[in-house]
Chain A
Amino acid sequence: MAKDATGVPYSVYWRTWAFLLTLTLVMVILDQAAVPRPVLVLVLLTAMLVKAALIAGTFMHLSQEKLSLALAVVAALLLTGAVLFLLIAPDGLRLLQMKN
């Protein structure tokens, strides 16, 4: 049978919800403010990963699963996606240079 998550009170989910919404609000306000672009991108990406970790860890109970499962999900998704982008990013920049 699946691993039991009965120990989690409902309030945990709603406190996470409140935090996620606050974070989203901050992201949207920041996005329209006069923030230097590199700073904005860094802050937004960090906030995005925090939101993702909260949803996966709390809502999907990944924080309560065995480490091997959590690592498998994180490595397969996040790491693969990041590596994929990082591998093709230089070509994108080179394409931009070639066009100019």
Chain B
Amino acid sequence: MSSLQPGGSSRGLHHADRPHAGGRGSVGKEVTVAEGVSREAASRWGGGVSPVGVSWNKLMMWLFIITDGLLFAGFLAAYGFARLASAAWPDRLEVFHLWFISAMTFVLISSSATMATAVGAARRKEGQLVSQMTFATLVGGTIFLAMQAYEWTTLIHEGARLHSNPWGVPQFANYFFIITGFHGTHVLTGIVILAVVAARALRGRLSAEGVELAGLYWHFVDLVWVFIFTLFYLI
């Protein structure tokens, strides 16, 4: 009994893992292989491997993306609620310079494509391409941020504040600044991360996984923008 696999029995994921589980009349997988560990449990949940098939680092990045995405989901749900509860909402064509915002979207999507290329290049160990593509992504992100800053400045000059704006609905500008502000901050953080990745790539001190994780974060930022662009600017 004492010679059980430490990974399997300490997790408590399957009743069948524990040697005394049968005695308690547990429901679940039948114990088949020796020492109270079922074959399937040993292979996937028995410890030592990742059940979802990715490394710990990658899983943690995905978990971060999920939680950060829920932040934006909360903001956008609140924004949707505010719009439903409002008799009128400013006409997006009057407030926003739609082609300018479309250009911003173009820049961000392009930066996502360069980042994906960088991740692929890292796996193929093409160091120079990694540096070039990561730098291109960084430049794209900076251009996006500059354009967003210009948009903000224009709206602020027209009178948009957190508590009021000239377009008839008091909380409209509030939602705009908060949602795009949080997104812009994420873009800025991404730029910092990419600068570190680019610097390390130049010195040859970068792993393929490091680039991939940075890539996941950057694609997440682009993904959020797809939702913001559609829900706030287009609808």
Contacts and interface: CB of A to CB of B under 8 A. Distances in A.
Interface stretch (B31-39, B77-85, B158-166): B77-85
Interface residues of A, number: 54
Contacts of A34: none
Interface in B187-223: 208-209, 212, 215-216, 219-220, 222-223
Contacts of A16: 113
Contacts of B109: 17, 20-21, 24
Given A10-B120, A100-B87, A55 B76 contact: no
Contacts of B102: 24-25, 28
6 nearest interchain CB pairs?
A92-B84, A81-B73, A17-B113, A66-B53, A48-B230, A95-B85
Contacts of A41: 235
Contact of B98 (A32, A72, A89): A32
B69 interface: yes
Contacts, number: 156
B117 interface: yes
A27 to B, nearest CB: 6
B124 A96 contact: no
Contact of A93 (B58, B84, B113): B84
A90 B197 CA distance: 46
B117 to A, nearest CB: 5
Contacts of B86: 96
A64 B76 CA distance: 29
Interface of B: 51-55, 57-59, 62, 65-66, 69-70, 73-74, 76-77, 80-87, 92-93, 98-99, 102, 105-106, 109-110, 112-113, 115-117, 119-120, 123-124, 208-209, 212, 215-216, 219-220, 222-223, 226-227, 229-231, 234-235
B70 A80 contact: yes
A28 B230 contact: no
A38 to B, nearest CB: 11
Contact of B85 (A4, A40, A85, A96): A96
A13 B117 contact: yes
B120 A5 contact: yes
Interface string A42-62: 001101100110011011100
A60 B115 CA distance: 10
A53 B83 CA distance: 26
A8 B219 contact: no
Interface in A77-91: 77, 80-81, 84-85, 88-89, 91
Contact of B80 (A56, A68, A73, A89): A89
B66 A77 contact: yes
Contacts of A5: 119-120, 123, 212
Contact of A27 (B62, B74, B219, B234): B234
Contacts of A17: 109-110, 112-113
A24 B57 CA distance: 33
B221 to A, nearest CB: 10
